[in-house]
Structure 1
Amino acid sequence: MFRSLSRIAPQLITLGAIVLLVTAFFPDFILIGYERERLVGPIIDVLKRGAPVALLAIGMTLVIATRGIDLSVGTVMAISGAIGAWAISSGLGLAPTLALAIGAGLLCGLWNGCLVAVIGIQPIVATLILMTSGRGIAQLITEGRILTFSDPSFAFFGSGTLFGMPFPAVLWVLLALVVTLLMRRTALGILVEAIGVNRSASALAGVNARVLLIAVYMAAGLCAAFAGIVATADIRGADANNTGLWLELDAILAVVIGGNSLLGGRFSIAASVIGAMIIQTIDTGILLAGFPSEYNLVIKAGLVLIILVVQSPNLAQSWRFVKDESRRRRERSYEARKELRS
């Protein structure tokens, strides 16, 4: 347990520092109230608004752990959201709607996984194909317009509450816990890391890398489908042009801020979702602080750069070198004074 906490300690410290920084500009940021049987406040809003990126980051973490990348998750969000809005507005009911939306995400993940694992296309190229074509598929489903619906049961996934918490926040927390337990309480986590470290060696050791890679990309598609459902249900409409637009970059950034290496291998779901909350806290804090909108991206980029530099392994190694060198100088000075006294 303590080992797991030490793994995410830098991310928790960073998140706490960002919260304190935002509170300095907006003192009411940490206030939480209770209205109409639900918790309200800027922090609760962060947990809700950060749900799509957190959901994407869960799947992206698994993909990156295998030394891959998935640039299509934002587009998969648009496809799943469009199918969900079309199904619910056609009167198919909640269960078929969810099945179709989730099935679309799994199918997109299967497509990416087959291109990477079976055909052997590089992950960045394979997922770029769906990224560029998938949004057109979503536009065909919505016929180029915002497809709205009024079904309250489907809208619950974006704006409903469960035990006083926004349901999107509950969803990403539960999914992160389930995936973490699945990866750490079974051999799947080790196998995923083995593929990321050395796919050829893992195959020689008996790991079915092809099937596992397909499963990982399908998991990313599943997470993207959940994110698409949340985003579509929140606005009660499917916007094929803007749903999930560029969120794949935020998802990758969340994984990196979480300290996971893009070179694959060891990974942490908890660190990635904390990274997603860091990004959303920065976004919310910039808006609450009243900075002009044209500066938002610049300020966000600067803060993220600082975070990544502080968390850089090279910086940590340099700091350890400085401390070791300082210790050696103190020891040499002590020995020199000891010789002079003798």
Structure 2
Amino acid sequence: MQKNNTKKSSINQIAGKMAGKQIFIPIAALLLLAIFNLIVDPSFFKISMDVNSAGDQVLSGYLITILDYGSELAILAIGMTLVTAASGGQDISVGAAIAIAGSVILRVLCGTNSRPDELQAPIIVAFLVACVVAMLFGAFNGILVAGFNIQPMVATLILFTAGRSVAAWINNNELPVVVSDKSFTYFGGFIPGIPIPTPFFIALGCIIITALALKFTNLGLYTQAVGINASSSRLNGLNPAFIKFLSFVILGLCVAVAALIKVSRISSINYSVIAKDIEMDAILAVALGGNALSGGKFNMTASVLGAYVIQFLTTTLYKFNVKSDALSAYKAIVVIVLVVISAPVVRDKMSTVFKKLTLKKKEVG
């Protein structure tokens, strides 16, 4: 009996510690979604080896879909986390910026011909040009926020409104612009001989680079300091305006990577549909990771995990034939609950409850 009480006490202590940690909510949400699908339809977790349209053997299943499409969202969550932490606001223009960067990639690859037989430039060149363009638009948003002290959501509303028109203008509003080179599809699909989606490896590379940057530079420390108190950070020798500006530029780089994946999936682009509403999912991933949307301290691991949880939720809703028009409503309800639970006040109360339960059981024992 005493051993059972000791075990229960240990479990409560662990649960209490976990409840107080920022990463608790995305992990809990992931487990809840997994349990729900396991009960309702265990086939959700089935993974099989199939042959894709290119004739290659690849892994398929709902979990592979989550891994695939969640990866591009995870890349955006990296940049959005830094912007949120530094500026205390969010960039709502990333969907439009992806359309611009994707249009630039196709323009460089196709030249003046909307359907060339051969690529007009190497893919790496097209990607680097898109990186420069996306970072310039990120810099534009950064200047408005850091230089003119415009609220981030208002500042990025400009690009959100005009971005897709700019994307169409880049390719003379031609539809469809199609890349016929098979190797271009590898970035958003599968590399022959590798059954795991390429976007996962791209996201993994971005995560590793970000982790190294945060560990071996002061980027994370400076970003949090500026987000917590810009005036104090200035007194300590930091330049808050530059840190905010830099966060938007980094997000621009993340946008270019996501754009490469997006246009590579279909070797083309639809200016009005590509990455539609993806900025909302990126913001939700940051919120679900327990990061304060008002800026300051952040947890990049929690944000990345939050991105995959959002994709898990989206895939679950699609799996149960939820209409696309109602998808946002269902997602909003679930996310509101998760975000409320992830609030620091709620987490602290949950941690306190677990601690009280532990103490009571110790007294009874």
- Normalized against structure 1, the TM-score is what? 0.88
What CA distance in whole angstroms lies between the structure 1 residues aligned with 2:127 and 2:359? 63
CA drift at 1:61: 0.2
Q: Does 1:131 align with 2:160?
A: yes
**1:163-202 paired onto structure 2 within 5 Å:** 163-202=194-233
Q: Does 1:41 align with 2:48?
A: no
CA drift at 1:33: 2.7
| Residue of structure 1 in register with 2:189 after alignment | 159
What CA distance in whole angstroms lies between the structure 2 residues aligned with 1:11 and 1:86? 39
Cα pair 2:188 2:263 within 8 Å, conserved? yes
What CA distance in whole angstroms lies between the structure 2 residues aligned with 1:170 and 1:284? 20
Q: Does 1:143 align with 2:172?
A: yes
Cα pair 1:22 1:289 within 8 Å, conserved? no
| Residue of structure 2 in register with 1:298 after alignment | 329
Could you report, residue by residue, the CA deviation over 1:127-152 in whole angstroms, capped at 9, with x for unpaired residues?
11121122111011233333222122
RMSD between aligned residues: 2.6
The match for 2:345 among 292, 298, 314 is 314
Number of aligned residue pairs: 331
**1:55-74 paired onto structure 2 within 5 Å:** 55-66=75-86, 67-74=88-95
Could you report, residue by residue, the CA deviation over 1:263-312 in whole angstroms, capped at 9, with x for unpaired residues?
11111111111111111111111121234444433322222222223323
What CA distance in whole angstroms lies between the structure 2 residues aligned with 1:323 and 1:15? 21
The match for 2:44 among 8, 29, 33 is 29
SS in 2 for 1:39: strand
Cα pair 2:145 2:152 within 8 Å, conserved? yes
CA drift at 1:329: 9.1
Q: Does 1:262 align with 2:293?
A: yes
* Residue identity in the other structure for 2:66: V
What CA distance in whole angstroms lies between the structure 2 residues aligned with 1:153 and 1:323? 54
Point out where structure 1 has 5 or more consecutive residues left out of the alignment: 335-342
* Cα distance, 1:296–1:319 mapped onto 2, change above 3 Å: same
* Cα distance, 1:204–1:43 mapped onto 2, change above 3 Å: same
CA drift at 1:242: 1.2
Cα pair 1:138 1:240 within 8 Å, conserved? yes
| Residue of structure 2 in register with 1:10 after alignment | 25
* Cα distance, 1:178–1:102 mapped onto 2, change above 3 Å: same
The match for 1:106 among 135, 138, 144 is 135
SS in 1 for 2:156: helix
Cα pair 2:95 2:278 within 8 Å, conserved? yes
What CA distance in whole angstroms lies between the structure 1 residues aligned with 2:167 and 2:300? 29
What CA distance in whole angstroms lies between the structure 1 residues aligned with 2:355 and 2:68? 44
Cα pair 2:79 2:250 within 8 Å, conserved? yes
Could you report, residue by residue, the CA deviation over 1:96-126 in whole angstroms, capped at 9, with x for unpaired residues?
2111111111111111112222233222222
* Residue identity in the other structure for 2:144: L
Could you report, residue by residue, the CA deviation over 1:233-281 in whole angstroms, capped at 9, with x for unpaired residues?
1011021111122211111011000100011111111111111111111
Cα pair 2:97 2:163 within 8 Å, conserved? yes
* Cα distance, 1:122–1:300 mapped onto 2, change above 3 Å: closer
Cα pair 1:73 1:248 within 8 Å, conserved? yes
What CA distance in whole angstroms lies between the structure 2 residues aligned with 1:276 and 1:330? 38
| Residue of structure 2 in register with 1:338 after alignment | none
Could you report, residue by residue, the CA deviation over 1:35-90 in whole angstroms, capped at 9, with x for unpaired residues?
44433221111111123322211100000011232111111100000111121122
| Residue of structure 2 in register with 1:87 after alignment | 108
- What is the percentage of aligned positions where both structures have the same residue? 32
What CA distance in whole angstroms lies between the structure 1 residues aligned with 2:302 and 2:360? 37
Cα pair 2:25 2:338 within 8 Å, conserved? no
| Residue of structure 2 in register with 1:215 after alignment | 246
Q: Quick check: 195-204 or 136-145, which moved more? A: 136-145
- Normalized against structure 2, the TM-score is what? 0.83
Cα pair 2:44 2:63 within 8 Å, conserved? yes
